[in-house]
Structure 1
Amino acid sequence: MASPRITEAKGILAARLREIRNEASLTGRSLASRAGWHYSKVSKIEHASQMPNENDIRVWCRVCDAEEYVVDLIAAVRNIDSMYTEWRRLEATGLRHMQESFNPLYRETQQFRVFQHSAVPGLLQTAGYARAHLRTVIAFRGIPDDLEQAVRARLRHQEVLTSGGKRFMFIVGEQALRTPVCDAEEMSAQLARLAELTINMPQLSFGVIPARGRPALMPPENFWIYDDNQVRVDTIPGQYRIKTPTDVALYEKAFSALADAAVYGQAARDLINATADELRGT
């Protein structure tokens, strides 16, 4: 069964194609005739019972004299084809392989923009924090226990932070500093690590949205933007990869709004250190 988000994406694509046909003042039968298709194909595509392929999109736009929409519509088709992967398939052999599946993407990406509201992003986690977090995932999902291998794979990701030529922008909610993912000693080490990231790292910016801050919007999901062509959104059952240019641009706009609401440098360190003091009871 298709996920609700994929069904919704198919419906949006179908509606957009119908709109383009109507703007061209063509009936479904006339479009099909000019395209050299069976007359029922247009109806099936517009009712989302048949997915158009990339050539269908090109022909549809050519017949409707709307070729300026080809790039976005083909991106939408590709996005639907690859947008959703169930965690149970990625994690079938344990978390190490799932962690390693990100390696090619991390090597190829030059700019990372990451928003996480209530947890520290994996690229910034200490070993103790990563171990506690992945242990929870293994227990919750009931998957093979390869905890130590998964932790090592996650920490190896962090080599990209110093690989040269890449840029990283991380935004977290203040709740990420407070969520007790691990014990007090390990949380203190994690907070110290985050404080270090606020100084002397020209390739990386780390911002915190104060709990009393008022960003222009607060997205319901965490998201990672890779360069300007792909967004990853993690949900409980699976992972979405969003590649449609207009959708990616919307996430970029959301990230800019969140970045404007965050504090950096000394102000971020003050929040981090205050949280660490509370943790120590001082």
Structure 2
Amino acid sequence: MNTSRNITALLAALRGWRGQAGTTTQQRWLELEANARQLRVFEPHFVPGLLQTAAYARLRLLAHARVHHAIDNVDDAVAMRLRRQAILQRAEVEFHFLLTEFGLRSGAYGNSSVMTEQIEKISAQVGDNRVRVGILPLTAEWDANVDHGFWMFERSHVLVETVTAELRLNRPEEIDTYWRVFHLLENKAVYGDDARALLGNVLNSLSR
């Protein structure tokens, strides 16, 4: 019974965090990332916050705010999200992002102007030796079934976002599974010059 109550209390707290104002959520992420030494991020549908432009971040946060009735604080949330990106300059932290070509081609969070700027930012990041960026092409055959994004903090825990909660998974078997999924997906991704070529193709399609 105590375990059940603890789980219920934890989920309530996580749901509260997800439903809080954008600046509160961004501050929590800032604190989580400040203690990280290794981050592995998979996002099948969107660009991760640490790689977003201000315009793309605004559209993502506005969508979140409309659901959680916090539209008045979007400007502060965007500023906080951009502040989080300073962590990318820390040489002691290892970053590995996995994105999908589908997510970059989707117009769900930006018109061609917004997405052009966003893809140019990602392309510039591909050349940074401190940050590894892989992209899963549309033609890639995935060896793992996963349709949600996740953030892996070393091998200590995994964060998964839902509409109403931030789920923190820390059981060893769960971490091992997500680690395995990430490894299977990265083997299907393109990196370096191949990633830049893919991004160039996406940019060309946006300009038509």
Q: Is the pair's TM-score, using the shorter chain for normalization, greater than 0.5?
A: yes
What's 1:25 paired with? Answer: none
- How big is the alpha-carbon RMSD for the aligned residues of Structure 1 and Structure 2? 2.1
What's 2:93 paired with? Answer: 166
CA distance in structure 2 between the aligned counterparts of 1:256 and 1:91, rounded to whole angstroms: 28
What's 1:13 paired with? Answer: none
What's 1:57 paired with? Answer: none
1:207 to 2:134 alignment? yes
Counterpart amino acid of residue 116 in structure 1: E
Counterpart amino acid of residue 139 in structure 2: R
CA distance in structure 2 between the aligned counterparts of 1:156 and 1:262, rounded to whole angstroms: 28
CA distance in structure 2 between the aligned counterparts of 1:84 and 1:223, rounded to whole angstroms: 20
1:196 to 2:124 alignment? yes
> Are the structure 2 counterparts of residues 136 and 144 from structure 1 closer, same or farther at C-alpha, using a change threshold of 3 Å?
closer
Picking from 123, 126, 136, the partner of 2:53 is 126
Q: Secondary structure at the match of 2:143?
A: coil
Q: Secondary structure at the match of 2:146?
A: coil
1:184 to 2:115 alignment? no
Displacement of 1:271 in angstroms is 1.2
Q: Which moved more, 1:140-149 or 1:271-280?
A: 140-149
Q: Secondary structure at the match of 1:102?
A: helix
> Are the structure 2 counterparts of residues 226 and 95 from structure 1 closer, same or farther at C-alpha, using a change threshold of 3 Å?
same
Q: Secondary structure at the match of 1:261?
A: coil
Displacement of 1:163 in angstroms is 2.0
What's 1:232 paired with? Answer: 159
Displacement of 1:92 in angstroms is 5.3
Whether the aligned pair in 2 keeps the contact of 1:126 and 1:189 (CA below 8 Å) is yes
Whether the aligned pair in 2 keeps the contact of 1:213 and 1:261 (CA below 8 Å) is yes
Q: Percent identity?
A: 26
**Aligned counterparts, 1:2-151, within 5 A:** 50-52=1-3, 82=10, 85-87=13-15, 89-90=16-17, 94-151=21-78
Displacement of 1:81 in angstroms is 6.5
CA distance in structure 1 between the aligned counterparts of 2:66 and 2:172, rounded to whole angstroms: 37
**How many residue pairs are counted as aligned between the two chains?**
207
CA distance in structure 2 between the aligned counterparts of 1:84 and 1:202, rounded to whole angstroms: 40
Gaps of 5+ in 1: 1-49, 54-76
CA distance in structure 1 between the aligned counterparts of 2:64 and 2:51, rounded to whole angstroms: 18
Whether the aligned pair in 1 keeps the contact of 2:61 and 2:74 (CA below 8 Å) is yes
1:175 to 2:102 alignment? yes
> Are the structure 2 counterparts of residues 84 and 119 from structure 1 closer, same or farther at C-alpha, using a change threshold of 3 Å?
farther
TM normalised by structure 2 equals: 0.92
Higher-Rg structure is 1
Q: Secondary structure at the match of 1:146?
A: helix
Counterpart amino acid of residue 78 in structure 2: V
Q: Secondary structure at the match of 1:168?
A: strand
